[in-house]
Amino acid sequence: MIESLLSYGWWVGAILIVIGFVALVKGADWLVDGASAIAKRFGVSDLIIGLTVVAFGTSMPEFVVNMVSVAEGSTDLAITNILGSNVINTFVILGLTALVYPIVARKQSFKTNMAFTISAGLLVLLFVFLPLPYETIKGINRIDGIILLLLFIYFLYNSFRHAKSNPEETSEEEIKPLPAWKAVICILVGLLGLTIGGELIVKSAVNIAVRMGVSEAIIGLTIVALGTSLPELATSVIAAAKHNSDIALGNVVGSNIFNVFFVLSVSATIRPLPAYQGIELDAFMAALGSILVWLFVITNKQRAIQRWEGALLLLVYAGYLTYRLLNI
C-alpha cells in the first residue's frame, strides 16, 4: 500500500512523512495517557509514572522510527535519527529557547544529568573513532549497545534515588483518570498510531533519498531528526515564552540521554549499526553540543544560557548543516 503510493513521486513521500509524524506524536500521547491511567489504577505513584511511563513515552517517536529502520535494514537512518535529534535538541531547541528567554539551570540534578548526557555523546564518539578489538565493522556494535543499555539502567536507578531524596525538585505528573476500557483503547490506538507513523516515515524517507540521489544519512539528520524533535521544540519555546525556560533544559537533557542510552542501545543490540560517510562529524557535534551547554551554565553566576549563547548555538548548527549538505 505505502509502496504503491510512493510510486507517484517524491511529493507524495513528503506528505506521508508529515502524516507519519502526526501519527507518531498523537500515538505517543494516547499511549502515555492510557498506560498512565492503568498504572494509576494499580496504585503506582504519580512520581514513578512520571519517571517511567511519561519519560519513555516522550522517546517513543525516536524509538519507533529506529525499530522500523532496523527491521527494514535502514541502519543509516537509525543512527542519524538519534545523532540528528540530539544535535537539533541542543543547538536548535536550546538555541531558540535561549533567544526567547535565558535558560536558568535551577535543579540540583543538573550536574548529574549533564554528566550522563556528556557521557552519552563521548561514548558514541569513542565507539565510532576507536572500535574495540572484537569489532569487525566500524560503527555501533551489539556489545556497544549492551554497554549503553547497562548505563541506561544505572541512569534510571540514579533518577529514582534522586527523586526520592529530593521530592521538591521532581514535579509529579497529573494523570488523567480514565475508565479501564478507555485506557485500554488509548493504549491500542496509540500503538497503532506509532506503528503506522513509523512505517510511513521510514519508507517515505528512504524513497525520497533514492529519488533525490542523497544518502539516507542526510534524510535522517534533517527531515526525520527534526520531525521526531518537534514535540520538544514546541514545548520548550512555549515554556520560554512563559519564562519557564528551565523546563526546556530538562526536556533536552532527558531526551538526549534516552535517545542514546535507550533508543540507540536497543537498536544496536538488535542489529549492529555500521558507520556511514560523515558519522565522525555527526557524533562529534552531538558530543560538542552537550559540552557547550555545560560550559555555558557553569561559567556565569546566573547559571544560565544567555541569549547571545543561544544565538551562538544556532550559528554553529547553521555552519554544520551547511557543511554537511555541501559535502553529500
Most confident region among 21-35, 136-150, 168-182, 302-316 by mean pLDDT: 302-316
Contact 275, 76 (CB under 8 A): no
pLDDT band at 328 (very low <50, low <70, confident <90, very high): low
Higher pLDDT: 73 or 266? It is 266
For the chain, domain boundaries:
2-326
- What is the predicted pLDDT for the residue at 51? 61
Q: Please determine, for residue 196, whether its predicted confidence score (pLDDT) is greater than 90.
A: no
Mean pLDDT for the stretch of residues 247-274: 89
pLDDT band at 4 (very low <50, low <70, confident <90, very high): low
Q: How far apart are CA 140 and CA 120, in angstroms?
A: 13
Q: Measuring CA to CA, which residue among 69, 62, 106 is closest to residue 87? A: 62
CA distances from 131 to 9, 284, 301 (A): 40, 15, 40
Q: Is the dihedral of CA 82, 86, 91, 93 positive or negative?
A: positive
- DSSP annotation string for 215-249: -HHHHIIIIIHHHHHHHHHHHHHHHHHTT-THHHH
Counting Cα atoms < 13 Å in the Cβ hemisphere of 5 gives 12
116 Cα distance to chain centroid: 14
pLDDT per position as a tens digit, 79-136? 999 999 999 999 999 999 999 888 887 766 677 888 899 999 899 988 888 766 665 6
pLDDT per position as a tens digit, 41-91? 777 666 666 666 777 777 888 888 899 889 888 888 889 999 999 999 999
Q: Which residues contact 1 (CB under 8 A, 6 or more apart)?
A: none
CA distances from 23 to 10, 37, 204, 279 (A): 20, 21, 14, 29
CATH, range 2-326? 1.20.1420.30
pLDDT per position as a tens digit, 207-254? 777 777 778 888 888 888 888 887 778 778 777 787 777 777 888 888
As a whole number of Å, the CA-based R_g of the chain is: 19
Three-point CA angle 54, 57, 63, nearest 5° = 150
Higher pLDDT: 135 or 188? It is 188
DSSP symbol at 90: I
- What is the predicted pLDDT for the residue at 161? 81
Round the average pLDDT of the chain to a whole number and report it. Answer: 83
- What is the predicted pLDDT for the residue at 202? 82
Residues pairing with 104 in the sheet: 304
- What is the predicted pLDDT for the residue at 315? 97
Q: Measuring CA to CA, which residue among 123, 97, 30 is closest to residue 250? A: 97
Q: How far apart are CA 28 and CA 194, in angstroms?
A: 7
Q: What is the CB neighbour count within 10 angstroms for residue 181?
A: 8
- What is the predicted pLDDT for the residue at 1? 60
Per-residue H/E/C for 39-85: HHHCCCCHHHHHHHHHHHHHCHHHHHHHHHHHHHCCHHHHHHHHHHH
Q: What are phi and psi of 103, to 5 degrees?
A: -95, 115
pLDDT per position as a tens digit, 132-183? 666 566 789 888 999 999 999 999 888 888 777 766 555 555 666 778 878 8
Contact 172, 50 (CB under 8 A): yes
- What is the predicted pLDDT for the residue at 312? 96
- What is the predicted pLDDT for the residue at 82? 93
pLDDT band at 310 (very low <50, low <70, confident <90, very high): very high
